[in-house]
A and B are shown apart, each in its own frame.
Chain A
Amino acid sequence: MNALVPLVVTIPLLGAAIALIFGQRPRVQIFVSLVSLTLVTAIAAVLLVAVDQTGTVTVNVGGWAPPWGIVLVVDRLSAIMLLVSALMLLGVLIFAIGQGIVDDDNETPVSIFHPAYLVLSAGLFDAFVAGDLFNMYVGFEMLLAASYVLLTLGGTGARIRAGVTYIVISLMSSLLFVGAIALIYGATGTVTMALISERVRELPMGVQAILCAALLLGFAVKAAVFPLSFWLPDSYPTAPAPVTAVFAGLLTKVGVYAIIRTDTLLFVDVPLRIPLMVVAFFTLLVGIMGAVMQADIKRLLSFTLVSHIGYMIFGIAIGGDIALTATIFYVVHHIVVQTTLFLATGLVERVGGSTSISRLGGLLKAAPFVAVLFFLGALNLGGIPPFSGFLGKIGLFQAGVEEGSWLSYVLIAAGAATSLLTLYALARVWNMAFWRSRGEVEGYQSPLLESLAESPEDSGTVATKQTSGLMVGATTGMVALTLLLTVFAGPIFGYAERAAAQVENPDNYISAVFPEGSP
Chain B
Amino acid sequence: MSASLTLVLLMSLMYAVGIYVMLERSLTRFLIGFLLVGNATNILIFLMSGPNGNAPLWTGGPEDADMVDPLPQILILTAIVINFGITAFVLALIYRTWWLAQLGDEGDTLPDDHAHDTEEDAEEVFRQVDEDDEAIQRVLDASNEHEDDPEPDPVQTARDTEVGR
CB pair B108 A156 closer than 8 Å: yes
Flag whether B48 is at the interface (Cβ < 8 A). Answer: yes
Distance (whole angstroms) from the CB of A47 to the closest CB of chain B: 26
Distance (whole angstroms) from the CB of B32 to the closest CB of chain A: 13
> Known interface pairs A175-B38, A191-B71. Does A164 touch B93 (Cβ–Cβ under 8 Å)?
yes
Contact of B45 (CB < 8 Å), options: A152, A156, A163, A185:
A185
Q: How far is the CA of A84 from the CA of B96 in the complex (A)?
A: 36
CB pair B1 A155 closer than 8 Å: no
CB pair B107 A167 closer than 8 Å: no
Q: Interface of chain A, helix or strand or loop or mixed?
A: helix
> Known interface pairs A141-B82, A186-B48. Does A160 touch B38 (Cβ–Cβ under 8 Å)?
no
A149, A152, A181, A182: residue with the most chain B Cβ atoms closer than 10 Å: A182
CB pair B41 A157 closer than 8 Å: no
Flag whether B63 is at the interface (Cβ < 8 A). Answer: no
Flag whether B52 is at the interface (Cβ < 8 A). Answer: no
Flag whether A171 is at the interface (Cβ < 8 A). Answer: yes
Look across to chain B and name the residue whose beta carbon is closest to the beta carbon of A154.
Answer: B112
Distance (whole angstroms) from the CB of B11 to the closest CB of chain A: 10
CB pair A186 B1 closer than 8 Å: yes
Distance (whole angstroms) from the CB of A214 to the closest CB of chain B: 11
What number of B residues sit within 8 Å (CB to CB) of A? 31
Distance (whole angstroms) from the CB of B146 to the closest CB of chain A: 44
Would you give the 0/1 interface string for B51-78, flagging 1 where the beta carbon is closer than 8 Å to chain A? 0000000000000000000011001001
Distance (whole angstroms) from the CB of B155 to the closest CB of chain A: 45
Q: Chain A residues near B110 (CB, 8 Å)?
A: 156-157
Distance (whole angstroms) from the CB of B39 to the closest CB of chain A: 11
Q: How far is the CA of A260 from the CA of B118 in the complex (A)?
A: 51
Look across to chain B and name the residue whose beta carbon is closest to the beta carbon of A186.
Answer: B48
What number of A residues sit within 8 Å (CB to CB) of B? 28
Flag whether A168 is at the interface (Cβ < 8 A). Answer: yes
CB pair A138 B78 closer than 8 Å: yes
Q: How far is the CA of A164 from the CA of B100 in the complex (A)?
A: 13
Q: Chain B residues near A158 (CB, 8 Å)?
A: 108
Q: How far is the CA of A148 from the CA of B115 in the complex (A)?
A: 23
Flag whether B90 is at the interface (Cβ < 8 A). Answer: yes
Q: How far is the CA of A182 from the CA of B74 in the complex (A)?
A: 12
Q: How far is the CA of A339 from the CA of B86 in the complex (A)?
A: 27
Flag whether A178 is at the interface (Cβ < 8 A). Answer: yes
Distance (whole angstroms) from the CB of A184 to the closest CB of chain B: 9
Q: How far is the CA of A157 from the CA of B89 in the complex (A)?
A: 17
CB pair A160 B71 closer than 8 Å: no
User: What are the 9 tightest A-B residue pairs by CB atom distance, in nearest-first order?
Assistant: A186-B48, A157-B108, A182-B45, A157-B107, A182-B44, A141-B82, A185-B48, A157-B100, A155-B96
Binding site for B on A (CB under 8 A): 106, 134, 138, 141, 145, 148-149, 152, 155-158, 160, 163-164, 167-168, 171-172, 175, 178-179, 181-183, 185-186, 191
Supplied contacts A160-B97, A167-B93, 20 more A-B pairs, CB within 8 Å: A141-B86, A148-B89, A155-B96, A156-B107, A156-B110, A157-B100, A157-B107, A163-B93, A164-B27, A164-B93, A171-B34, A171-B86, A172-B22, A175-B34, A178-B41, A182-B47, A182-B48, A182-B72, A183-B48, A185-B75
Q: List 12 A-B contacts (CB under 8 A).
A: A141-B82, A145-B82, A152-B93, A156-B107, A158-B108, A160-B100, A163-B93, A167-B93, A175-B34, A185-B45, A185-B72, A191-B71
